A and B are shown apart, each in its own frame.
Chain A
């Protein structure tokens, strides 16, 4: 399942062009945008009257209404907003697990969400989380023009916040693509992700090998990030225990996301690269078909 990295980006962009990111209301912020916000602003579109308050702009007083009613009232207009999505991909080595489609799927989803953001009228910026948060070169443009997206680090995203924190736009949508397979409190990361964000979407990308190891007998496990080895004997009991641990870990993240008001969507890499596997995003109202 080895494809050129740019092919995955192009495939993701192409697929994402059929979708649009679902924007939450709180994402409608930022002046000078293409959308009319519900909040009062300085656009030319009339909204309503209200009584004059000392300090109001005298230019907004409706003098015609005063001449007719001898009552001072102020005109209120709709505001223009500019939504933004920051899409972060986990740059750790586990995202390029040997023998799986995880790396390709991660690039695919990065480009998918970029294209969906464009369709939603969002600005976007692509980030890679590896020993800090780094902008992907050309990450505000179309995915086809991006630089390389490689998975080479061993730093967990919550540690990356301290190494090189991101400069995200406030009130934006923050989407994180990661396998979430590190030890740490999900709430801590979610708090850092959600600080000043309109919405947080956590997409857990796992390979089929992550879901079900498949190997039986004497196995030497090699940690993709640290290189540490562990020899165990895998039988049905061991597999069952692994799946239970994974499920518990996912439940942990799900509860933390719910607590923080974030969306949690688990995806599997191989079906995505086979043309399917994105229904969960639509089901979670993260994207919608245009």
Chain B
């Protein structure tokens, strides 16, 4: 489409129907009966046949006048054409969120409409294209190209599987690529916020407001011998929703009728026997399918194997009691994951963490203030003010101080070369009130949670799309093979024992580390993306913004004005010719 520098001037085209109206009214003949036409035979035929010439002249004059008006109106609007000797860089921001996959009544998605828009412009050889994906974080898509076929290949990689689209961040990234002379094109299913008139930016909103019902939450927990799972469904429509929710667990399928008012949301808890199978819940097909299905994998989390090797009977009992209270420890004698002892040198912790308790004798009573490292896992939720912590102040504790009282380190964390943690705690159980405070079980709960988090395996088997999945490798670092739905398997080298992975699409992903396989369920459950009512369509902004935009274009006004002048001269010549014939 040819851009115009002053598009409002096209309102001048309204003069054409006005002129047509004037001619119609003028040419409308009044009926007049006369006694005889004999006295009205007034025209004398010139030698060239003037009567016919005269009749033909009026339509020609009318057409000339119409054309002159059209040319002047278009000239005033100043149509612009790109200067051919300049390469124009266009940076395209593509909305990568999954709402771009919503199908309208014609079965067309915003992604398809956006692709068509780009391909229509891509045949211009004087343009280069660079694509920026607007997902949760901006990312480049492909390299800059001028070739139409390459543009098509790049757009085929655009999957629209992000849980959200950070368009402002992607736009900022795009501006750095575009520079002062480049053009920006945004393709999204949402209308833009306020646009800056100085930006050479065109925003194509390619969405349509559509009703949608989808999952906005799903969770599964295992407690004892039972599995609990929770499903949340929301109706993003202006009409009530009544349909069946299907839940499949292994071979068993249950159907449940749900009814939601417009905009309504419902939470559906359920409890079953502990299952090893995935729970698959699904809703009927609607505009957006990606949020109509959730998979919840089993979330069993065995207790931490703890060996209580404390010799002091009283302290031993205190430790046992607090471990049982956390319900996260399994007391074992062999192959523990956590050794607890009060005697140095008795811990065989080549493969286990350890907690070394140092009761001491005749210790000092510390009443605070206690200095705690708030970013350490052991101090999460820990409150010590008002407590008495008695401990021997002799000697240094190895490792990083975690809790100190003055210059005396009461609790430290030592990390070995094999990435195991040695926790050292000075405490006199007889004179410390800490053992009778909530801080004591919190400390042990944090220790067990921390140990659990550092176990090999996925921190959470069920995550939302866009959420980071964390995998702790069995022996710190190594190759991780990832199989994702709809993609070929790939291998990633993990430099450390913990591997963070952001799944790119929903479904069940498989991660393999050596012989061990971990399954990860990723579900699209974002209320903002499932709500399609705010989607819209339209073209906003202009690439002609200020002088920067005009430099790349040449105006055709002068050609149109010249044409209009030529036609005006022809018009006057015709009128003059007519007058001359009339006089004859």
Instruction: With both chains docked as a complex, state the minimum distance between the C-beta of B374 and any C-beta of chain A, in angstroms.
Output: 96
Bound complex: CA A11 to CA B33 (Å): 27
- A residues in contact with B31, CB < 8 Å: 219-220, 222
B350, CB-defined interface residue at 8 Å: no
Is B32's beta carbon under 8 Å from chain A?
yes
Given A218-B28, A218-B29, A219-B29, A230 and B38 contact (CB-CB distance below 8 Å) = no
B45, chain A: closest CB distance, angstroms: 15
Given A181-B39, A183-B38, A249-B39: A217 and B33 interface contact (C-beta under 8 Å)? no
Is B34 engaged at the interface, CB distance under 8 Å to the other chain?
Answer: yes
Known: A181-B39, A241-B42, A249-B39. A97 touches B30 (CB 8 A): no
Contacts of A99 in B (CB 8 A): 33
Q: Residue-by-residue, is B20-58 near A (CB-CB < 8 Å gives 1, otherwise 0)?
A: 000000111111111111111010000000000000000
Minimum Cβ distance to chain B for residue A100 (Å): 9
- Is B36 touching A182 in the complex (CB atoms < 8 A)? yes
In the complex, the answer to whether A221 meets B35 with C-beta atoms within 8 Å is no
Residue in B28, B30, B39 whose CB lies within 8 Å of A245: B39
- Residues of A within 8 Å of B30, CB to CB, are 215, 217-220
- Whether A224 contacts B32 by the Cβ 8 Å rule is no
Whole-angstrom distance between the alpha carbons of A29 and B42 in the complex?
A: 48
List chain B residues, Cβ under 8 A from A245.
Answer: 39, 42
> Cβ of A238 < 8 Å from any Cβ of B?
yes
A224–B42 CB distance below 8 A: no
Q: Which of A94-113 contact B (CB under 8 A)?
A: 94, 97-99, 102
Residues 245-284 (chain A) with a chain B CB within 8 angstroms: 245-246, 249
Tell which of A181, A183, A207 has the most Cβ of chain B within 10 Å: A181
Known A-B contacts A224-B33, A224-B34; A218 and B39 likewise in contact (beta carbons under 8 Å) = no
> In the complex, what distance in Å separates the CA atom of A99 from the CA atom of B31?
12
Contacts of A102 in B (CB 8 A): 35
Q: Is A59 an interface residue, CB under 8 A from the partner?
A: no
**Interface pair B28/A223, CB less than 8 Å apart:** no
Across-interface contacts of B37 in A (CB, < 8 A): 221, 223, 226, 228, 230
**Residue A147 at the chain B interface, CB threshold 8 Å:** no
Q: Are B42 and A238 in contact (CB under 8 A)?
A: yes
- For residue B40, which residues in chain A have a CB less than 8 angstroms away from its CB? 221, 230, 232, 242
Q: Once bound together, how far apart are the Cα atoms of A276 and B27, in whole Å?
A: 40
**Which of A215, A225, A231, A232 is in CB contact (< 8 Å) with B36?**
A225
Chain B residues whose CB sits within 8 angstroms of the CB of A94 once the complex forms: 35-36
Contact A210 B29 (CB under 8 A): no
Say if the beta carbon of A79 comes within 8 Å of chain B.
Answer: no
Give the CA-CA distance A97 to B26 in the complex, in Å.
Answer: 27
**Residue A213 at the B interface, CB < 8 A?**
yes
Q: How far is the CA of A213 from the CA of B27 in the complex (A)?
A: 19
Give the Cβ gap from A179 to chain B, nearest Cβ, in Å.
6
Which residue on A lies nearest to B34, using beta carbons?
A: A221
Give, as a whole number of angstroms, the nearest-CB distance from B101 to chain A: 64
Place the interface of chain B in its size category: 10 to 19
Residue in B26, B29, B35 whose CB lies within 8 Å of A224:
B35
A237's closest neighbor in chain B, by CB?
Answer: B582
B29 to chain A, nearest CB (A): 4
- A98 CB contacts on chain B under 8 angstroms: 33
Closest to A217 in B: B30
Chain B residues positioned under 8 Å from A215 (CB to CB): 30, 32
B39 pairs with A246, CB closer than 8 A: yes
Assuming the contacts A221-B40, A238-B42, A242-B42, asked whether A207 and B29 have C-beta atoms less than 8 A apart, the reply is no
- Residues 203 to 259 of chain B near chain A (Cβ within 8 Å): none
The reply to whether A179 and B42 contact each other, CB–CB distance below 8 Å, is no
Instruction: Decide: B38 and A213 in contact? CB cutoff 8 A.
Output: no
Contacting pair B42 A181 (CB below 8 A): no
Query: Using Cβ atoms and an 8 Å threshold, which residues of chain A touch B27?
Result: 218
Complex Cα spacing A239 to B205, Å: 66
Interface residues of B in 408-423 (CB under 8 A from A): none
Whether A223 touches B36, Cβ cut-off 8 Å, given contacts A217-B30, A218-B30, is: yes
Instruction: Flag if A220 contacts B29 (CB, 8 Å).
Output: yes
Given the known interface contacts A232-B42, A241-B42, A242-B42, the answer about A222 and B32 at a Cβ–Cβ threshold of 8 Å is yes
Q: In the complex the two chains form, what is the Cα distance from A104 to B42 in whole Å?
A: 30
Find residues 33-88 in chain B having any chain A CB closer than 8 Å to their own CB: 33-40, 42
- Which B residues touch A230, using CB under 8 A? 37, 40
Q: Which of A132-150 contact B (CB under 8 A)?
A: none
Determine the residue in chain B with the shortest Cβ distance to A243.
Answer: B39
Chain B residues closer than 8 Å to A232, beta-carbon distance? 40, 42
Chain A residue numbers with a CB within 8 Å of B36 are 94, 179, 181-182, 223-225
A221 with B32: CB separation less than 8 A: yes
* Those of A187-243 within 8 Å (CB) of chain B: 206-207, 209-210, 213, 215, 217-226, 228, 230-232, 238, 241-242
Q: Bound state CA distance, A99 and B26, in angstroms?
A: 24
Asked if A97 and B33 sit within 8 Å, CB to CB, the answer is yes
Note all chain A residues with C-beta closer than 8 A to B39. Answer: 181, 242, 245-246, 249
Minimum CB–CB distance for B564 against chain A, Å: 28
Asked if residues B29 and A181 are in contact (CB atoms below 8 Å), the reply is no
Q: Report chain A residues within 8 Å CB of B42.
A: 232, 238, 241-242, 245
Task: Say whether B34 contacts A213, CB under 8 Å.
Answer: yes
Of A182, A218, A223, the contact of B26 (CB 8 Å cutoff): A218
Nearest chain A CB to B582 CB, angstrom units: 8
Contacts of B26 in A (CB 8 A): 217-218
A282 to chain B, nearest CB (A): 26
Write the chain B residue with the least CB distance to A207.
Answer: B35
CA distance A191 to B265 in the complex (A): 111
Within the assembled complex, what's the spacing in Å between the Cα atoms of A225 and B40? 15
List which A71-88 residues lie within 8 A (CB) of chain B.
none
Judge whether B29 and A231 touch: CB under 8 Å. Answer: yes
Q: A222–B40 Cα gap in the complex (Å)?
A: 11
CB A227 to nearest CB in B, in angstroms, measures 10
Within the complex, the shortest CB–CB distance from B575 to chain A, in Å, comes to: 15
Residues A210 and B32 in contact, CB atoms below 8 Å apart: no
The residue of chain A having its C-beta at the shortest distance from the C-beta of B36 within the complex is A181
A195 CA to B240 CA in the complex, in Å?
105
A243 → chain B closest CB, angstroms: 9
- Docked Cα-Cα span, A206 to B33, in Å, equals 14
Q: Which residue of A lies closest to B31 (CB)?
A: A220
Q: Which residue of A lies closest to B28 (CB)?
A: A218
Q: How far is the CA of A209 from the CA of B40 in the complex (A)?
A: 13
Complex contacts, B29 vs chain A, CB 8 Å: 218-220, 231
Q: How far apart are the CA atoms of A221 and B36 in the complex, in Å? A: 9
Which residues of chain B come closer than 8 Å to A181, judged between CB atoms?
A: 35-36, 38-39
Interface code B275-305, partner A: CB below 8 Å = 1, 0 otherwise?
0000000000000000000000000000000
Contact indicator A220/B32 (Cβ below 8 Å):
yes
| A29 to B308 Cα, complex, angstroms | 170
Q: Give chain A residues whose Cβ lies under 8 Å from the Cβ of B35.
A: 94, 97, 102, 179, 181, 206-207, 210, 224-225
Contacts of A222 in B (CB 8 A): 31-34
A100 to B26, CA, bound (A): 27
Kindly state the separation between the CA atoms of A239 and B520 in the bound complex, as whole angstroms. Answer: 99
Q: Complex Cα distance A228/B34, Å?
A: 10
- Of all chain B residues, which has the CB nearest A210? B35
In the bound complex, CA of A245 to CA of B44 (Å): 13
Q: Smallest CB–CB gap between A5 and chain B, Å?
A: 19
Interface centre among A209, A215, A221, A249 (most CB of B within 10 A): A221
Q: Which 9 A-B pairs have the closest CB atoms?
A: A94-B35, A181-B36, A220-B29, A218-B29, A98-B33, A245-B39, A223-B37, A181-B35, A241-B42
**Given known contacts A220-B30, A226-B37, A232-B40, what 14 new A-B pairs fall within 8 Å (CB)?**
A94-B35, A182-B36, A213-B32, A215-B30, A217-B26, A219-B30, A221-B32, A224-B36, A225-B35, A228-B37, A241-B42, A242-B39, A245-B39, A246-B39
A/B interface sample: 12 pairs, CB < 8 A:
A102-B35, A181-B39, A210-B34, A213-B32, A218-B28, A219-B29, A220-B30, A222-B32, A223-B34, A224-B33, A224-B35, A225-B35
